[in-house]
Amino acid sequence: MEFEWRYEKEQPQQLKYFLKEKGISKGLLAKIKFQGGTIKVNDKRENVLFSLSDNDKVTIVIPAEGEHETVLLDETPIDIIYEDEHLLVVNKPAGISSIPAQYHPNGTMANRVKAYYKRQGYEDQVVHVVTRLDRDTSGLMLFARHGFAHAKLDVQLREKKFIKKYQALISGSLDDLKEHGWIDLPIARDYSSLLKRQVHVDGRSAQTEYWLEKRDSEIALVDIQLHTGRTHQIRVHFSEIGCALLGDEMYGGRMDLGIERQALHCYDLRFYHPFTQKLLEFKQPLAQDMAAIVQRFED
């Protein structure tokens, strides 16, 4: 894959520092150098010690990644929301893990995306997961189509430039809910379980913001934005305030209201395109099982 920039500074600069500013890591430079890529200035091959002058054209060619041979293929079709040569946004169904695990090497979104890349005949077939979702959470997931895009998106994640919002169905102490609230409670491992988390004074800081959208006597629909990214954060926080998610048996959610998985859906994903810098925003309606419950509010 080829990328091109124009150097626009009066002061000379070594090529390696210019490439670093563009997000080219030492690892990616080594890959370009040793795995068949090229670095050119004004269409002439140069090394990274070359001194750039104003208006120089810099071109890099990153070699294709091939594939992770250990990632198995799952030919189940994927629901593509957006795709270009750098990004892939999909709608993940509930009940599907994001990535393979030791005892579950297939049937995940990563397996399905790899099979899709294979069918399309893409040169880059390594699956780069940028935003994961829990197995039973539905909604928007972002993949990078190549390692350079992944690295640049990771910078945005670290700088908290991503906005990822969820909708959840909850029950319990609904009268105590505010129209707009903030849950600020630390989260730690619950050592009685390999998976479970808990609110604990010695845990890591965790903040969840929510807006009450709709409610009846038993159920409420809340809009949620995370300000930290702790494991099971939404589930733990709402359980702690007495409003566990429907279907979330692990954290005390009701299992008798027509949904058998945690009623959580990632519906809104916003970030800057790693190369055009354009703000991208994607929205995805609630999954069918959650939408059917919300319909009760209108009936």
Residues 6+ apart with CB under 8 A from 34: none
Are 147 and 196 within one domain? no
**Backbone angles phi and psi of 233, in degrees to 5:** -55, -50
- For residue 299, the model assigns a pLDDT of 67
Interatomic CA distance for residues 24 and 82, integer angstroms: 25
Strands (E), 173-244: 180-184, 187-189, 197-199, 207-215, 220-226
Are 171 and 257 within one domain? yes
Q: Hey, how many other C-beta atoms are within 10 angstroms of the C-beta on 259?
A: 22
Enter the tokens of residue 116. 């899709």
- Among residues 275, 214, 272, 201, the alpha carbon closest in space to that of 240 is found at 201
210: CATH:
3.30.2350.10
Distance of CA 89 to the CA centre of its chain: 9
Predicted TM-score of the model (pTM): 0.93
Q: Which residues are catalytic?
A: 134
- For residue 67, the model assigns a pLDDT of 85
In the block, which residue shows the tokens 């733990």?
A: 236
- Among residues 267, 274, 269, 271, the alpha carbon closest in space to that of 161 is found at 271
- For residue 140, the model assigns a pLDDT of 98
Domain end (from 134, 159, 184): 159
How many domains are contained in the chain? 3
The CA-atom distances, in angstroms, between 293 and each of 22, 170, 218, 225, 290 are 47, 11, 11, 21, 5
- Give the 3-state secondary structure of residue 240: helix
Are 210 and 255 within one domain? yes
Domain contains 120: yes
- For residue 212, the model assigns a pLDDT of 97
Domain end (from 42, 61, 80): 61
Are 44 and 98 within one domain? no
| H or E segment and range at residue 5 | strand 2-6
Instruction: Domain of residue 11: give its range.
Output: 2-61
Interatomic CA distance for residues 70 and 41, integer angstroms: 38
Domain contains 277: no
Domain contains 212: yes
Are 173 and 125 within one domain? no
Are 134 and 54 within one domain? no
Are 70 and 152 within one domain? yes
| pLDDT tens digits along 75-105 | 999 999 999 999 999 999 999 999 999 889 9
Domain contains 225: yes
Domain contains 57: yes
Are 48 and 71 within one domain? no
Are 179 and 246 within one domain? yes
Domain end (from 129, 159, 189): 159
The CA-atom distances, in angstroms, between 162 and each of 28, 113, 182, 226 are 24, 22, 19, 10
Are 171 and 258 within one domain? yes
Domain contains 206: yes
Domain contains 81: yes
- For residue 68, the model assigns a pLDDT of 82
Are 213 and 133 within one domain? no
Q: Which residues of the chain have pLDDT under 70?
A: 299
Interatomic CA distance for residues 295 and 29, integer angstroms: 53
Are 110 and 201 within one domain? no
Domain contains 79: yes
